[in-house]
Structure 1
Amino acid sequence: MALIRRLFTAALVAGVLSGTAASVVQQATTVPLILEAEKYEVVTPPPAAATATTAAPAASDHAAHGAPVRQLGEAVPESAEEAFQRLWLTVASNLLTGVGYALLLAGVMLLVGERVDARRGLLWGVGGFVAFALSPSFGLPPELPGMAGADLEARQLWWLAAALCAGGGLLAVAFARNRALVAAGVVLAALPHLVGAPHPESPEGAFPPELAAHFVAVSLGGAALFWALLGAVCGAMMSRVVGSADDGDA
């Protein structure tokens, strides 16, 4: 029971710290890009481009329901209440994600049974970044709100397969002593990418390409910081847990 309690404590501390850091970084990097992207997400065509049979009735519907009629690239007004709601939802999501990933990372550390510390935990964090952020991004890069995408369930299943296969492959490369298992791990990590990620038939959209590319870059940079901090703190906390388990076995 004491071992489980220390495991949860280590995961809680690492998850809260990494989730808080991720929230701060996102407020300075990805959130401004999301707000910028919302200018292109839902727009009403200008009257000059409207046709008598399609666009004109849509504009009248907006007016009838009191919805604002915006032009492409027009800023979306956001109240203080909406900004606060966006902030606390982001922070809560990052904290829950951090604790969940920390529990997963700490559990795998415990199962492997290797000695860990902050430095080795950082390497575990790098592995987590590769498995859960970098590898899936080769097939499904981070997307801005409103971007065209394939079926949500298909994307979620592919992302999960890519992350699990990459994680299993990394564990095989790092800890397997048999060359065949190492080779199998490499093939396993590449398998989802060989199958291919689901993509929409018409990926075109109103987003400037540089905005989407910038979002991908800062999202992966924030994920790298998140996983580095998560791994280092989790490794430092888990050094006592793994050490206690080894001492108990002795």
Structure 2
Amino acid sequence: MSLFRSIVFTSVFTGLIVGIAVSAVQFLGTSQLILKAEVYENAGEATVSTHDHGPPGSLAGDNHSAMTGHDHEDSSWEPADGLERNAFTVAANILTAIGYSLVLTGLIAFRGRPVTWRDGLIWGLAGFACVMIAPMLGLPPELPGTPAAPLGERQIWWIGTALATAAGIGLIAFQRKPWAAVLAIVLVVAPHIIGAPAAPAGEHALAPEALEHRFVVAAVLSSLVFWALLGSLSSTFLRRFEA
């Protein structure tokens, strides 16, 4: 089987498994917290409120608001609560997992060295650091009813932070030289020195602070599951298809 076909088949199989698995994790965690937060949002009179229902940067249902938030003033269509909403969440998670697996598997293949599932797990954890941990230091996952900066500004900062962190990790991993370590530190730190876009002054989240904290923890854990499975399964399937 050609390398390109191996990458595509690996990504599709990995995406299906990871998308379904993380959807189950979200249903027990972040999705329930979002529903609770929507009660506060619907009861309040927020001028600007954001949702995290679409596919972080991270994942449908708990993705980073910089990538998936939308304003209530936008009257775009949304899936109905219940089965339709859950179905769209699963579909979005599967597509997101396939997309990230294509990138991750392509990088592993480009590296040109055989990898075990343990090596793939390390690749996945690196992706977790780039896509979840680094951006959330400036833009933590947000519940509905949380004031936020304009979507475009958040997206630009989120993408820049993820790419800079990825470049920094790559330098540390593949260039074991002092100049590479210094440049890596600069790349990782630079987005946080610049600072993430700030929410409008004087506005407050509608959901209780305790609920926000629980949501952040649940979002991080579901993202960790996503990336750990993505890395280990991508490397495992790639070896099998190449064989």
Q: Settle same-fold status: TM greater than 0.5.
A: yes
Structure 1: which 5+ runs fail to align? 46-80, 245-250
1:39 corresponding residue in structure 2: 39
User: Does residue 1:210 correspond to 2:242, yes or no?
Assistant: no
For 1:129, give the aligned amino acid: F
For 2:124, give the aligned amino acid: G
Taking only the aligned residue pairs, the percentage that are identical comes to 37
Q: For residues 73-92 of structure 1, what are the structure 2 equivalents within 5 Å?
A: 82-92=81-91
| Alpha-carbon distance in structure 2 between the residues aligned to 1:201 and 1:93 | 30
| Alpha-carbon distance in structure 2 between the residues aligned to 1:194 and 1:10 | 38
Cα displacement (A) at 1:210: 0.5
2:119 corresponding residue in structure 1: 120
1:198 corresponding residue in structure 2: 197
CA contact (8 A) 1:173 1:186 kept: no
TM-score, structure 2 length as denominator?
0.81
1:20 corresponding residue in structure 2: 20
Q: Deviations over 1:132-184 (max 9, x none)?
A: 01111101000112210001000011000111111111111111132201221
For 1:82, give the aligned amino acid: D
Change (3 A) 1:153 1:44: closer
Q: Deviations over 1:85-106 (max 9, x none)?
A: 1100100110000000000101
| Alpha-carbon distance in structure 2 between the residues aligned to 1:87 and 1:2 | 36
| Alpha-carbon distance in structure 1 between the residues aligned to 2:116 and 2:146 | 41
User: Does residue 1:184 correspond to 2:183, yes or no?
Assistant: yes
Change (3 A) 1:44 1:14: closer
Cα displacement (A) at 1:191: 1.0
Query: Could you say what the CA RMSD is over the residues aligned between the two structures, in angstroms?
Result: 1.6
2:154 corresponding residue in structure 1: 155
| Alpha-carbon distance in structure 2 between the residues aligned to 1:240 and 1:173 | 29
CA contact (8 A) 1:11 1:234 kept: yes
Cα displacement (A) at 1:115: 2.3
Q: Deviations over 1:204-228 (max 9, x none)?
A: 1221000011100000000001100
CA contact (8 A) 1:142 1:215 kept: yes
| Alpha-carbon distance in structure 1 between the residues aligned to 2:44 and 2:97 | 39
CA contact (8 A) 2:37 2:143 kept: yes
CA contact (8 A) 2:148 2:198 kept: yes
- Structure showing greater radius of gyration is 1
Cα displacement (A) at 1:113: 1.9
1:138 corresponding residue in structure 2: 137
SS of residue matched to 1:40 = helix
Structure with higher helix content: 1
Change (3 A) 1:44 1:177: closer
CA contact (8 A) 1:10 1:234 kept: yes
CA contact (8 A) 1:117 1:238 kept: no
Cα displacement (A) at 1:13: 1.2
Q: Deviations over 1:1-28 (max 9, x none)?
A: 8210111111111111111111000000
1:74 corresponding residue in structure 2: none
| Alpha-carbon distance in structure 2 between the residues aligned to 1:169 and 1:112 | 17
For 1:131, give the aligned amino acid: C
Cα displacement (A) at 1:44: 5.9
CA contact (8 A) 2:25 2:222 kept: yes
| Alpha-carbon distance in structure 1 between the residues aligned to 2:145 and 2:106 | 36
| Alpha-carbon distance in structure 2 between the residues aligned to 1:177 and 1:135 | 22
2:57 corresponding residue in structure 1: none
**Count of paired positions:** 208
| Alpha-carbon distance in structure 2 between the residues aligned to 1:189 and 1:15 | 28
1:228 corresponding residue in structure 2: 228
TM-score, structure 1 length as denominator?
0.79
